[in-house]
Amino acid sequence: MAEFPIDLVRRKFPALNRSESSLFFDNAAGAQIPQNVFDAINGHLLRRNVQRGGRYRESREVDAEIASARKTVATFLNAADPDEVAFGMNATSFIRLVSLALSQRFADRREIIVSDLDHEANIATWMALEQQGAVLRWWNVREDGSLHLDDLEPLLSSRTRLVACTVASNALGTIIDVAGVAQRAHAAGAEVFLDCVQYAPHGLVDVQKWGCDYLVCSGYKIFAPHMGFLWGRRAALDALATFREDFIPDAPPFKIEVGTFVYENVAGMRAAIEYLAGLGTNCDGSDAPAAQRKRLASAMEAIHEYETTLSAALLQGLRSMKGVTVYGLQDPQTSHLRVPTVCFNLRSVSPEQVTTRLADKGIAVRDGNMYAPRLMRRLGLSPDSGAVRASLVHYNTLEEIRLFLGALQEIAGQ
Q: What span, in angstroms and rounded, lies between the C-alpha atoms of 180 and 178? A: 5
Q: What is the pLDDT of residue 289?
A: 82
Let me know: does 127 contact 77? Beta carbons within 8 Å: no
Q: Would you state the pLDDT for residue 285?
A: 53
**Integer Cα distance of 203 and 224 in angstroms:** 16
Q: Which domains does the chain have, with CATH numbers?
A: 6-32+289-412 (3.90.1150.10), 39-277 (3.40.640.10)
Give the pLDDT score at 282.
Answer: 53
pLDDT in tens, the chain (414 residues): 579 999 999 999 999 999 887 899 999 999 999 999 999 999 999 999 999 999 999 999 999 999 999 999 999 999 999 999 999 999 999 999 999 999 988 888 999 999 999 999 999 999 999 999 999 999 999 999 999 999 999 999 999 999 999 999 999 999 999 999 999 999 999 999 999 999 999 999 999 999 999 999 999 999 999 999 999 999 999 999 888 888 888 899 999 998 899 999 999 999 999 999 999 975 445 667 889 999 999 999 999 999 999 999 999 999 999 999 999 999 999 999 999 999 999 998 999 999 999 999 999 999 999 999 999 999 999 999 999 999 999 999 999 999 999 999 999 986
